[in-house]
C-alpha cells in the first residue's frame, strides 16, 4: 500500500491503494476478494473499502459478485486485444504530446526510474518491475499537465494490470533483448518524435502485446 499523503482521507487512501494494486497486478484474474478481508489487510473499517470497491466496479476494474465480494473480471482474447490497441494509441499520442515539455530534470528522473527497473529485473523482483514500469510511463506522459489522455490511459491500465505479471513471467525483459525504455530516453534527449513513437509502441508490444498474439490469457472466458 502507498504511504498515506498529508491531508489525504482514509477513503482517498484506500481507493488509491486498491486502484494501484489492481494496476500492478496484485490480484490475479478471476480471484475473488471480500470487503472484510481487504479491510483487515489494510487495517481500516469496511466502509472505505466498500466505497473504493464500488468506484472500481464502476471503472470496470472489478466485477461485483454479491454485496460482500468482488473479483478481477474474466478476459477474452478479443477484449484484451482491444485494450492492447487502446494502450498503444493513447500512450503513443500522450508521449508525443508530452515530448516538448520534458525538461532536463524530468529526463533525469526517467533515467533514475529506468535504472531501478533494471535493478529489480536483476534480482527477480517482478512486483517492483511492474510498479517501476507504470511509474516510468506516468512520469513521461504527465509532463503535459492536465492531460486528458492520462486518465484514459489509467482506465486501460486498470483493465490490463492483472495480466502484467503473466506478461513478465513470459518476457521478464524485452522479447528481442532491446531496452525500449532506453530507446525512449534517447529519443527524448534528441527530441525525436518518430523515435519516441517507435520506442513506446514496441515497449508495449514486448510487454503485454505478446499475450495478444499468443492468446495466452490464463483467465479467458470459456
pLDDT in tens, 87-130: 999 999 999 999 999 999 999 999 999 999 999 888 888 788 88
Residues 66 and 85 in one domain: no
Q: Considering only residues 54 and 79, tell me which one the structure prediction assigns the higher pLDDT.
A: 54
| Per-residue pLDDT, 213 | 59
Provide the domain limits for residue 143: 77-214
Residues 189 and 109 in one domain: yes
- Round to whole Å and give the CA distance between 65 and 89: 32
The last residue of one of the domains, among 71, 86, 109, is: 71
Q: Considering only residues 187 and 216, tell me which one the structure prediction assigns the higher pLDDT.
A: 187
The last residue of one of the domains, among 52, 71, 90, is: 71
pLDDT for residue 25 is more than 60: yes
| CA 93 to each of CA 56, 100, 133, 174: distance values in angstroms, whole numbers, following the listed order | 26, 13, 18, 22
Residues 62 and 150 in one domain: no
| Per-residue pLDDT, 189 | 98
Residues 36 and 98 in one domain: no
For the chain, the domain total comes to 2
Residues 63 and 156 in one domain: no
Mean pLDDT, residues 130-134: 87
| Per-residue pLDDT, 44 | 95
The last residue of one of the domains, among 51, 71, 91, is: 71
Q: Considering only residues 171 and 178, tell me which one the structure prediction assigns the higher pLDDT.
A: 178
16 occurs within a structural domain: yes
Q: What is the CATH number of the domain that holds 203?
A: 1.20.120.530
Residues 84 and 180 in one domain: yes
Mean pLDDT (the chain) is 86
C-alpha cell at 108: 533525469
Q: Are 132 and 113 in contact (CB under 8 A)?
A: yes
Residues 62 and 113 in one domain: no
> How many CB atoms are closer than 10 A to CB 64?
14
197 occurs within a structural domain: yes
Q: What is the CATH number of the domain that holds 56?
A: 1.10.10.10
pLDDT in tens, 34-47: 999 999 999 999 99
pTM for the structure as a whole: 0.83
5 occurs within a structural domain: no
107 occurs within a structural domain: yes
Q: Considering only residues 59 and 165, tell me which one the structure prediction assigns the higher pLDDT.
A: 59
Amino acid at each position: 500500500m502507498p504511504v498515506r499523503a498529508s491531508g489525504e482521507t482514509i477513503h482517498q487512501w484506500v481507493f488509491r491503494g486498491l486502484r494501484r494494486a489492481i494496476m500492478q497486478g496484485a490480484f490475479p484474474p478471476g480471484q475473488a476478494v471480500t470487503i472484510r478481508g481487504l479491510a483487515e489487510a489494510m487495517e481500516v473499517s469496511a466502509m472505505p473499502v466498500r466505497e473504493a470497491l464500488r468506484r472500481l466496479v464502476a471503472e470496470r476494474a472489478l466485477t461485483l459478485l454479491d454485496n460482500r465480494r468482488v473479483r478481477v473480471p474474466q478476459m477474452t482474447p478479443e477484449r484484451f486485444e482491444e485494450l492492447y490497441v487502446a494502450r498503444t494509441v493513447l500512450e503513443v499520442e500522450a508521449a508525443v504530446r508530452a515530448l516538448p515539455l520534458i525538461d532536463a530534470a524530468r529526463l533525469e528522473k526517467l533515467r533514475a526510474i529506468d535504472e531501478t527497473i533494471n535493478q529489480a529485473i536483476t534480482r527477480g523482483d517482478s512486483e517492483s518491475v511492474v510498479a517501476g514500469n507504470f511509474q516510468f510511463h506516468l512520469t513521461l506522459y504527465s509532463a503535459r499537465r492536465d492531460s486528458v489522455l492520462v486518465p484514459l490511459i489509467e482506465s486501460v491500465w486498470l483493465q490490463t494490470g492483472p495480466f502484467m505479471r503473466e506478461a513478465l513471467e513470459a518476457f521478464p525483459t524485452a522479447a528481442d533483448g532491446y531496452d525500449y525504455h532506453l530507446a525512449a530516453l534517447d529519443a527524448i534527449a534528441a527530441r525525436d518524435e518518430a523515435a519516441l513513437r517507435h520506442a513506446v509502441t514496441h515497449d508495449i508490444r514486448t510487454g503485454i502485446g505478446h499475450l495478444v498474439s499468443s492468446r495466452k490469457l490464463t483467465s479467458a472466458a470459456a
